[in-house]
Amino acid sequence: MIPSSPFLCVITDESFCPVTIAELALKGGAAMIQLRHKSASGSQLFSWAVEIRNLCRIYRALFIINDRVDIAMASEADGVHLGQQDMPANAARTLLGKERIIGVSASSFEEALQAEKDGADYIGFGHIYPTFSKEKGFPPLGTEGLLNAAAFISLPIIAIGGVCLDNAATLISCGASGVAVISAVSRTDDPSRAASELVAAIKWKNS
């Protein structure tokens, strides 16, 4: 189940060991870890997934696999996060069952609405701000786009794209249930502290 209070999701960075980043983020208070690694083999992903799943259970956090429904099933992850080029949420639901969490990336209100109709459990909405984590074919959605989505989409929305300590609380105020980061945690001198500061910011601003 998606947390009911503002939360931090940390997505693993392909430049660093996913297990290490996950453990440091969890120590800092992250409530969700998403394993994302486009170039890793299935066997490597599964190995990482099992390790991160065990860590998440210790810290009572959610563990989500990016794209790979098969790895999510095999590793007993809490769920899967699907992009627009992956299978639709309703097809993934047939494989995963009712108990697993299914998130869907959306870069527009229309995509978010479709994901909701398809039975997703949450929306990864963005990019909100400019980001260099991967190439984008559309301009940032900004807080206005987030406000619009939050007003009409009943699912929890996780804001992603350019999220950092300076703007994370603002996104929660605009209707996001949580924020997702990559470099704001993994590419810092102290990922655990960075995660802790982000968690404190979103919870203090909205307490």
Which active-site residues does the annotation give? 36, 105, 134
DSSP string, 86-106: S--HHHHHHHH-SSSEEEEEE
DSSP string, 129-154: S---SS--SS---HHHHHHHHHHH--
One-letter amino acid identity for 183?
Answer: S
Asked whether the bond before 127 is cis by omega within 30 degrees of 0, the reply is yes
What residues pair up with 9 in beta bridges, in sequence order? Answer: 32, 180
